[in-house]
Amino acid sequence: MIKVKPFPANKQFSKFITELEVRMQEAADNFAYGSAAYVFDDILARLPSDGDTGLYRKSLKLVRVDDVGYAIKVDPVRKLYRKLETGKEVVYVRPKTSQHLSKFPGLDVLVRYGPWPVDLLPYIPPTRQAALISRRVRVEELEELRRKLEELRPQWVRALKDAGIRLTAEVEVPPRKQVWVDVAFNVLRLEFGLGDGQALPHWRPALRRLATEGFQRMLSTKSVALEAVKSLQYSKVVKSVDGVIPLSELSKYEGFQDRVRVAVR
């Protein structure tokens, strides 16, 4: 008489088969997370941690996108308290609400004729009325904008006086002011070298490295990402993310994604 006993390995294999669909999903999620984390770490390694670039570096976050995948998120703007820099940046005025344009007519003038070089800004609106969005620009751009505003000076001066704004010979720039830095705009300048400083590509090299090295590493025999479908026993990959965003939020970043994607090809 022959007796057949279930070996522990057979039980494990049977369990593996019943879990296969879930394991495949887990492997796909591991691969998506691994790809995003690979690019995220590569970008951080390429960026210095001081100055405006350090501010941008801190705004980068690896996040989960609902239940569909992962993304690297950049806060489009970031609030700071600092002095506005004459000769290096321009300022956009963004009302707190659309109703503020009619409630405070001076804001409407600032919006219509903006952006403004710091030293030409006719007046600085209170924080409760509007936010100041800062963008760094090239010297040539700044001078061209200054020329146009000087040509239009009679019009915007008259409009501001009609709005009840009392103008002074020179606007006193406070030593510290709440400013929203346009991080997304500055990123494009840094990536593609559109500013006065030297370009520092980081998205394109990171994405190229993912395509040439990262994917191969995640598909190798030692890959943690594929453990879900390779091993009878495995531990789930610990995924460290900085929050969850809805899928709809990705539409905000389509323009930047398109620019980087075309440049990588």
pTM score = 0.68
On whether residue 181 sits in a domain, the answer given is no
CA separation, residue 20 to residues 138, 165, 219, 227 (Å): 56, 70, 18, 12
On whether residue 190 sits in a domain, the answer given is no
What backbone torsions phi and psi does residue 185 show, to the nearest 5 degrees?
Answer: -65, -45
Nearest-angstrom CA–CA distance, 78 and 133: 9
CA separation, residue 37 to residues 104, 133, 146, 182 (Å): 46, 31, 43, 25
Q: Could you say which residues of the chain have pLDDT below 70?
A: 1-20, 76-82, 169-177, 194-197, 221-222, 224-225, 228-235, 261-265
Last residue of a domain, one of 110, 138, 173: 173
Query: What is the count of structural domains for the chain?
Result: 2
Contact between residue 195 and residue 201 where contact means Cβ atoms under 8 Å apart: no
Contact between residue 264 and residue 205 where contact means Cβ atoms under 8 Å apart: no
3-state class (DSSP) for residue 123: coil
pLDDT in tens, 159-175: 999 999 888 766 666 65
Domain range for 204 is 9-75+199-264
Beta bridge partners, 232, equal none
Polymer length in residues for the chain: 265
3-state class (DSSP) for residue 130: strand
Is the same domain home to 42 and 95? Answer: no
On whether residue 101 sits in a domain, the answer given is yes
pLDDT in tens, 89-138: 888 998 988 888 888 899 999 999 999 998 888 988 888 899 888 888 88
Q: What is the pLDDT of residue 14?
A: 64
